[in-house]
Structure 1
Amino acid sequence: MKILVTGGAGYVGSTLVPMLLEQGHKVRVLDNLRFGGQGLLPCCQNRFFELMLGDVCNEADVKKAVDGVDAIIHLAAIVGYPACKKEPQLAQAINVDSTALLLANRNADTRFLYASTGSIYGSIPDYICNEDTPRAPITLYGETKAKAEQLVLDAGNGIAYRYATAFGVSNRMRLDLMPNDFTYQAVKNRNLIVYEGGFKRTFVHVRDMARSFIFALERWDEVKDDVYNVGHESMNFTKEDVARKIMEHVDYYLHFAEVGTDADQRNYEVSYEKIRRKGFETTIDLDRGIAELVRAAKLISFQNPFTNV
């Protein structure tokens, strides 16, 4: 297949694109390289890899990018509560408007795979969320992703994946994801302060996220025109659980603060039975993911020019 991956140089894309190439697909990446393109350097060895430097909000770029492709995997987004709050207009443009633009310019038979988020459920502590749970986003990030996934479902020949909180090592690393951030602080600072340790999240490794797209491409007729939570019930953990799991790998000081709050108030458990019935299972648990994050943290270094320590 010839596959367009928007935002392919990002955290998930730089993990997914090499997997697609390994399977023999032709992959075109549309990305503005806002965070650099180093994560895709190994892909340049493959003659089926194509980088299109452009903007998913620019119709000319989009028309060129969708030309001749069999499937579109739409990863380009302003991701997370803080980033969307910082640039709300850009979040609307990339998370919602670009989705509409891609859908309007694709051929009807072009498959559309959309990366949504469990953040659309908001804060629902009293029961387990499934795909029929009403959307109740409490952040701009959740709101924009909810709007975009509805566009995909209304357009047909598409799927929306509501991912758990991503974590793990990627070629384009992110340290703003909670398990990644906690692990980095534990390794580098040897201490961690956790607010609202009882808040529960559900997690999915970035490689399992990439695998889920390949799964959908291979079983398109079985999964299309629907929405799926992607993760596993065994990966529902509180923030305290994650911090204590890191302690099994790193000797550090852990403090639970009674004062202070996390601005992102998500607190929920999620069911993943629907996609499991289709045949998809995650493969990387929290312990394995934390172990690789510890190894990666030792390779990452930031120098503060205003300190002598």
Structure 2
Amino acid sequence: MGQHILVTGGAGYLGSIMVPALLEAGHQVTVLDNFMYRQNTLAQCCIEPRFNVVRGDIRNSAVLKPLLARADIVIPLAALVGAPLCAQDPVGASSVNHDAIKMMLGLLGRQQHILMPTTNSAYGSGDQDHYCDEESPLRPISQYAIDKVAVERHLMEHPNAISFRLATVFGMAPRMRCDLLVNDFAYRAVNDRFVVLFESHFKRNYLHVRDVARVFLHGIAEHARMRGQIYNVGLADANVSKRELCEIIQRHVPDFVFLEAGVGRDPDQRNYIVSNAKLEGTGFCTAYPLDAGIEELVKGYQMVRNNAYSNV
């Protein structure tokens, strides 16, 4: 039997894939979104009687409170996502990414379930070997990651919470983001045929947007044994450097050229190798490898020809 799920920010990059998946699984889904990108990414869901949508701001308690009261499960996706966007509007970012979530947690009943995406960018550069698991110290670099670390502390005080520390997400979605690293490099390969790399040895972990939807469905199904825990979510075989990522893309776009800058510094200093073993121990396996996602992006960028789909 399906449950009533409230998804804030459900019309965004993650939500535009996740909401249809939740409906397909038999749940009743209410989306709260301010539609700041003027998107209609959930239009295909409107025919479904178990789908409802509310235009509003998660910072407005008068809007949020009655929606929370009807929810069995809350998935807070609403956020100003990424370091550049947060730097552009730091006050707005903190009010959405931290203050609104803290308010939401105060309004939730103890019996309600909350599954939230946080970020493995909180690890910064990891330990001396750049290795990270869920017990590793957090060294957030950007304001986005700092706010996510702070809100995760509040989140884990709730008895029915699960935190998913997501790797850098990639893949096509109705509300596309071309500014995420894999998506960005693939876009440059298809349209510009070259990219200049700074500190090309820096590594990150990656995760397909459809596996994000899958892990939330897994968390709903396995909530009794997963609650109260933090899980890294990423591809076990995709702790790759920027250079290695470009080499994979080059297999799909043979005339793609990547050059390593002799001078300069990447403003994004994240560099880490992430273990996803804890989540895998619950029975979850990713389904969409990096190579297949790049093939998908190369096809998708025949349709997407400009940067109107980035957050900044």
| TM-score relative to the length of structure 2 | 0.95
Q: Secondary structure at the match of 2:116?
A: strand
- Which residue number in structure 1 is paired with residue 153 of structure 2? 150
Q: 1:229 aligns with which of 232, 248, 254?
A: 232
Checking the alignment, whether the CA contact within 8 Å between 2:235 and 2:289 is kept in structure 1 is: no
User: Aligned partners of 1:51, 1:253: CA distance in 2, in Å?
Assistant: 44
Q: 2:199 aligns with which of 185, 196, 221?
A: 196
Structure 1 counterpart of 2:302, one-letter code: K
- Which residue number in structure 2 is paired with residue 164 of structure 1? 167
List runs of 5+ in structure 2 lacking aligned partners: none
Q: Deviations over 1:26-46 (max 9, x none)?
A: 100011001123211111121
- Which residue number in structure 2 is paired with residue 269 of structure 1? 273
Comparing 202-211 and 81-90, the one that deviates more: 81-90
Q: 1:45 aligns with which of 26, 44, 47?
A: 47
Aligned-pair CA distance for 1:261: 2.0
Structure 1 counterpart of 2:151, one-letter code: A
> Equivalences for 1:8-157 in 2 at 5 Å?
8-124=10-126, 126-157=129-160
User: Aligned partners of 1:288, 1:232: CA distance in 2, in Å?
Assistant: 12
Structure 2 counterpart of 1:291, one-letter code: E
User: Aligned partners of 1:4, 1:216: CA distance in 2, in Å?
Assistant: 15
Q: Deviations over 1:27-81 (max 9, x none)?
A: 0001100112321111112111111111111111110221211000011111111
User: Aligned partners of 2:189, 2:130: CA distance in 1, in Å?
Assistant: 32
User: Aligned partners of 1:137, 1:252: CA distance in 2, in Å?
Assistant: 33
User: Aligned partners of 1:170, 1:19: CA distance in 2, in Å?
Assistant: 13
User: Aligned partners of 1:53, 1:198: CA distance in 2, in Å?
Assistant: 43
Structure 1 counterpart of 2:62, one-letter code: A
User: Aligned partners of 1:261, 1:41: CA distance in 2, in Å?
Assistant: 42
Aligned-pair CA distance for 1:193: 1.4
Structure 2 counterpart of 1:156, one-letter code: P
Q: 1:183 aligns with which of 181, 186, 204?
A: 186
Identity of aligned residues (%): 40
User: Aligned partners of 1:77, 1:184: CA distance in 2, in Å?
Assistant: 24
Aligned-pair CA distance for 1:182: 0.5
| TM-score relative to the length of structure 1 | 0.96
Tell me whether 1:300 sits opposite 2:308 in the alignment: no
User: Aligned partners of 2:262, 2:80: CA distance in 1, in Å?
Assistant: 31
Checking the alignment, whether the CA contact within 8 Å between 1:52 and 1:65 is kept in structure 2 is: no
Aligned-pair CA distance for 1:188: 0.8
User: Aligned partners of 2:262, 2:212: CA distance in 1, in Å?
Assistant: 34
List runs of 5+ in structure 1 lacking aligned partners: 305-309
Aligned-pair CA distance for 1:127: 4.0
Q: Deviations over 1:180-199 (max 9, x none)?
A: 00011110112221211110
Aligned-pair CA distance for 1:232: 2.7
Q: Deviations over 1:83-130 (max 9, x none)?
A: 111111111111111111111112221101111000111112524201
